[in-house]
A and B are shown apart, each in its own frame.
Chain A
Amino acid sequence: MDTSVAPPLPVANPLTEFFWEGTRAHKLLILRCQSCGHFVHYPRPVCERCLSEDLAPEEVSGNATLYSYTITMKPWHPFWVDKVPYVLASVELPEQPDLKMLTNIVECEHDALEIGMPVEVTFRQVAAELTLPFFKPVGS
């Protein structure tokens, strides 16, 4: 791992630090309402469905489907100079309709990318303190 250049680093706050602690431990955690079971992402202090403020991180399956993607050709930040083209993607988690997160798709030929394809989480350490949840085709 070349740590000389890092990507923009997350500024975790009390509401989000669980997410980054989770990725460092190779767990994908999403905030979940402890009253009604609704997942809340991005993290917020209240459940949009029942207004409970009793929320806690829970590990999700790590499965997803590809909602959409773009192959970015230009490095708009020094970290990506040797990483273009890269596949920026929005994936939908099966735990709840419309529960999405942004990620990268890795270990996939570009012409094999297909919206709706099943993908699974894979963790990559990209800086000393930062591990990102990327996704790859299931079974790759």
Chain B
Amino acid sequence: MGQTPRVAAVGVGYSTTGRRTGLNSRELAIQAAKAAMADAGMTPKDIDGVAVLWAVSGPAPPGVESVQALDIAQMMGFAPVGWYSDGAGPAYIGTALQAIAAIRAGFCHTCITFRVINQRLSSADLEQGQDETPAAGDSQFTMPFGQLLPLQAIAAMPMQRHMAVYGTTEEQFAHHAVTQRYHASLNEDAIFRDPLTVDDFLAMPYITSPLRILDCDYPVDSGSAVIYTTEERARDFQHKPVFVESAAYSGKGYMAFEIEDMLESAPFHTAKQLWERTDLEPKDVDCAQLYDGFSIITFQWLEALGFCAPGEAGPFIEAGNTRLGGKLPLNTDGGACNVGRRHGTNFCIESVRQIRGQCGARQVPDANTSVWANAVGPFSGAVLMVGD
């Protein structure tokens, strides 16, 4: 038996997504909300909770508008709401789990959750300019040494250590990118759909070794929304509900990827809790949707969740297990590398759509159980979802 009272996802939706769409944060949120409500077959009065994660960290640059939970509640006719939150970051998982907890606690019965991303806030934009921020707080121990972008400490250094300790190869990271691109080729909504080969991948230069651009997700403007509700109401909407079987959220260490354990970080603790809260086991999972902000994060989740032993993600992927038709189809929408950065929301939405059977050419046959996971290092969370 999973966690009770049960909460279900009943509506999912995306805004227009892409590079420099010209849409501001409010417009991205409005589009995503409308899409999720239409998907559920809901009116605004069905919703009494709002949670949105907008900020990445620090103040917004000039000209970038924020969007807040109460702002959405008023604009979209949800107000008065019984519960709202401006998100537990730094990724969608925190926002989703807050909403699920609020529903379980009875603060609200139906909560719409968002991740709204402005490409201009994304770190890739730093490449065009220069960050004038002085090195305050813990960053005084990182920035003066040239730790300037998250991909150095969060991605490249863990990759290097994984390769040294476990014998993981750059070809195995390439196989992961190739597999995700193949899945994206089957997803009409993906941004990158052209075939990719291992040689194409390996021919690309390092940004910061051993990391290449295709090891990274793709920064875009995007609004993503998911509506959760109680089991009691879950069957009143347009599609069959997809239930949260178990969920976990955990953290350890300071927010300092560069000095934490780079191989067995918070996902391992999250995974332990996730499986303790359900009778299901890794072998019962039909597909997995594991965060790929950087490829090494997906590798770590495969290991943490027990789909392979620690250190075995590379061979597991290279053997074709994560490809559609394989033992564990992984990131079946193509992943954030190919559908654009949504900080985890796409993996929740893909889980819902797989379990509903809506995925067309990329559908996992009879998918009824999907796990999605988000974040790495000091903080992480995961949700196991099942059909009715």
Q: Name the contact of B140 in the complex, choosing from A12, A83, A104, A114 (C-beta under 8 A).
A: A12
Closest B residue by C-beta to A74: B207
**Interface flag for A108 (CB, 8 Å):** no
- Decide: A7 and B143 in contact? CB cutoff 8 A: yes
Q: Which of B153-161, B193-201, B300-308 contacts A (4 or more CB under 8 A)?
A: B153-161
Distance in angstroms from A104 CB to nearest chain B CB is 6
**Interface flag for B57 (CB, 8 Å):** no
**A89-B209 Cα distance, complex, nearest whole Å:** 12
Known: A11-B140, A42-B138, A101-B259. A76 touches B148 (CB 8 A): yes
- Decide: A74 and B208 in contact? CB cutoff 8 A: yes
Q: Mark A94-131, 1 if CB is under 8 A from B, else 0.
A: 00001011111000000000111000000000100010
Distance in angstroms from B128 CB to nearest chain A CB is 10
Q: Name the contact of A10 in the complex, choosing from B130, B135, B262 (C-beta under 8 A).
A: B135
Distance in angstroms from A34 CB to nearest chain B CB is 21
- Decide: A42 and B211 in contact? CB cutoff 8 A: no
**A89-B146 Cα distance, complex, nearest whole Å:** 10
- Decide: B209 and A73 in contact? CB cutoff 8 A: yes
Q: Name the contact of A103 in the complex, choosing from B145, B152, B165, B256 (C-beta under 8 A).
A: B145
Closest A residue by C-beta to B158: A68
**Interface flag for A18 (CB, 8 Å):** no
**A19-B138 Cα distance, complex, nearest whole Å:** 12
**Interface flag for B39 (CB, 8 Å):** no
- Decide: A102 and B258 in contact? CB cutoff 8 A: yes
**A10-B135 Cα distance, complex, nearest whole Å:** 5
| Chain A 32-83 interface residues, beta-carbon cutoff 8 Å to B | 41-42, 67-74, 76-80, 83
Which A residues lie within 8 Å of B262 (CB)? 67-68, 90
**Interface flag for B206 (CB, 8 Å):** yes
Known: A78-B130, A88-B146, A132-B144. A73 touches B161 (CB 8 A): no
**Interface flag for A8 (CB, 8 Å):** yes
**Interface flag for B147 (CB, 8 Å):** yes
**Interface flag for B205 (CB, 8 Å):** yes
Closest A residue by C-beta to B210: A70
Q: Name the contact of B136 in the complex, choosing from A11, A72, A104 (C-beta under 8 A).
A: A11
**Interface flag for B66 (CB, 8 Å):** no
Which A residues lie within 8 Å of B258 (CB)? 90, 100, 102
Closest B residue by C-beta to A44: B254
Distance in angstroms from B282 CB to nearest chain A CB is 28
**Interface flag for B279 (CB, 8 Å):** no
Known: A88-B147, A90-B259, A101-B141. A8 touches B157 (CB 8 A): no
Q: Name the contact of B144 in the complex, choosing from A9, A68, A70 (C-beta under 8 A).
A: A9
**A16-B149 Cα distance, complex, nearest whole Å:** 23
Distance in angstroms from B259 CB to nearest chain A CB is 4
**Interface flag for B284 (CB, 8 Å):** no
Which B residues lie within 8 Å of A10 (CB)? 134-135, 140-141, 144
- Decide: A132 and B145 in contact? CB cutoff 8 A: yes
- Decide: A77 and B256 in contact? CB cutoff 8 A: no
Name which of A9, A19, A83 has the most chain B CB atoms within 10 A of its CB. Answer: A9
Closest B residue by C-beta to A103: B145
Known: A9-B144, A10-B144, A88-B152. A70 touches B209 (CB 8 A): yes
**A70-B256 Cα distance, complex, nearest whole Å:** 16
| Chain B 216-266 interface residues, beta-carbon cutoff 8 Å to A | 254, 256, 258-259, 261-262
Chain A interface residues toward B at CB < 8 A: 7-12, 16, 19-20, 41-42, 67-74, 76-80, 83, 86, 88-90, 98, 100-104, 114-116, 126, 130, 132
Excluding A8-B133, A19-B141, A76-B149, 12 further A-B contacts by CB distance (< 8 Å) are A42-B141, A42-B259, A68-B262, A74-B127, A74-B208, A76-B131, A77-B131, A90-B157, A114-B164, A116-B164, A130-B144, A132-B145
Chain B interface residues toward A at CB < 8 A: 126-127, 130-131, 133-149, 152-153, 156-158, 160-161, 164-165, 205-211, 254, 256, 258-259, 261-262
